[in-house]
Amino acid sequence: MKLDAQNGALLANLQATLAGLDRTQTPGVWLDELIGRGLDGLPMPGRGATLQRWQALGLVAGHDLSLAKLYEGHTDALAVMAEVAPSAPPAKGATWGMWAAEAAHGRALVDTSEAGGVRLNGAKRWCSGAGQVSHGLLTAWWPDGRGPQLVRVAMDQPGVSVCAAGWHAVGMAASASVDVAFRDARVELVGAEGAYLNRPGFWQGGAGIAACWHGGAQALAAALHRTLVQVPPGHRNAFRLAALGKVDVALQATAALLREAARWIDEHPTEDASAAGLRVRLAVEICAKQVLDEVGQALGAAPFCRDAPFAQMAADLPVYLRQSHGERDFAALGERLMSPGEASWEL
């Protein structure tokens, strides 16, 4: 009961703080404010309050998806370090990026050949918020190809260069997922080689991204709901009502699936959560696309052109959804269903 009360207070404080954020500021400033108020102290996944963790991610996403991208990365980095290297906690007050995407060309390489400690050379792509955070937690590789190896790096040093020249995004523009170049940058090793992928929390954290997508879809559906409740009964457009019914069914179904996945993770904290993670990510992706389509058709062009938060959310959500791997993820889920007992669809 004490844990429930603490998490309930966290969610209430988070919701109140989000409502009071200055809309003229940037997601980086908003992230600093959330951290400064201690609102990044989310429950660890798989420790009995995974749903509350995802509820927090959904709340932030409903406010702004670029903020959610930074907030999810920061809180994920904290969870990863707590799981992989609990004896080496990060500095308090730091803001973190979590950068694990691997580009086709270019890698960040660990170098321990010099007496000056561990160094990093090379490049890392898709580093969300790299120009806004104080530290990065990223996957790197050893020169002989071993890895991935987690390292953490302070961004305010001469060996780190942030390059935004190739960032031309419209949707999710404020997340600034830019390139970072390293030249003999000082870093710390975090955990053992391969620990990032082999830990239980890898898919537990991956499933949490679906909560962000769900929060964005909820925000768009809420705009349709607000429009309809302002119209007196008997005068409401039947096609808009039908659209609201469709998005309700889609959102209720994925919310139930997220709750079930969170419960399963808490009951099986050390087991492989890849099937649960893939399932919720794919289901929420389908739901979010339907919400975008139904709400857009029902409301027409007006909110896309005259409602700034709606227009931003509608531009951001399709880009954020591309963190999904689409058909490859469906195939990966299908492969996992080949294990005995996995394909269970009974009530």
Model pLDDT, residue 1: 46
Top pLDDT among 207 and 1 is at 207
The tens digit of pLDDT for each residue in 293-347 reads: 999 999 999 999 999 999 999 999 999 999 999 999 999 999 999 987 767 888 8
Model pLDDT, residue 345: 87
Asked whether residue 150 carries a pLDDT value surpassing 90, the answer given is yes
Asked whether residue 4 carries a pLDDT value surpassing 90, the answer given is no
Residue 2 banded pLDDT, cuts 50, 70, 90: low
Model pLDDT, residue 92: 85
Residue 166 banded pLDDT, cuts 50, 70, 90: confident
The tens digit of pLDDT for each residue in 236-295 reads: 999 999 999 999 999 999 999 999 999 999 999 999 999 999 999 999 999 999 999 999
Residue 128 banded pLDDT, cuts 50, 70, 90: very high
Please provide the average confidence, as pLDDT, over all residues in the chain.
95
State the average pLDDT over residues 155-166.
Answer: 94
**Could you give the domains of the chain?**
2-84 (no CATH), 96-193 (2.40.110.10), 197-336 (1.20.140.10)
Asked whether residue 230 carries a pLDDT value surpassing 90, the answer given is yes
3-class SS letters over the chain: CHHHHHHHHHHHHHHHHHHCCCCCCCHHHHHHHHHHCCCCCCCCCCCCCHHHHHHHHHHHHHHCHHHHHHHHHHHHHHHHHHHHCCCCCCCCCCCEEEECCCCCCCCEEEECCCCCCCEEEEEEEEEECCCCCCEEEEEEECCCCCCCEEEEEECCCCCEEEECCCCCCCCCHHHCEEEEEEEEEEEEECCCCCHHHHCCHHHHHHHHHHHHHHHHHHHHHHHHHHHHHCCCCCCCCHHHHHHHHHHHHHHHHHHHHHHHHHHHHHHCCCCCCHHHHHHHHHHHHHHHHHHHHHHHHHHCCHHHHHCHHHHHHHHHHHHHHCCCCCHHHHHHHHHHCCCCCCCCCCC
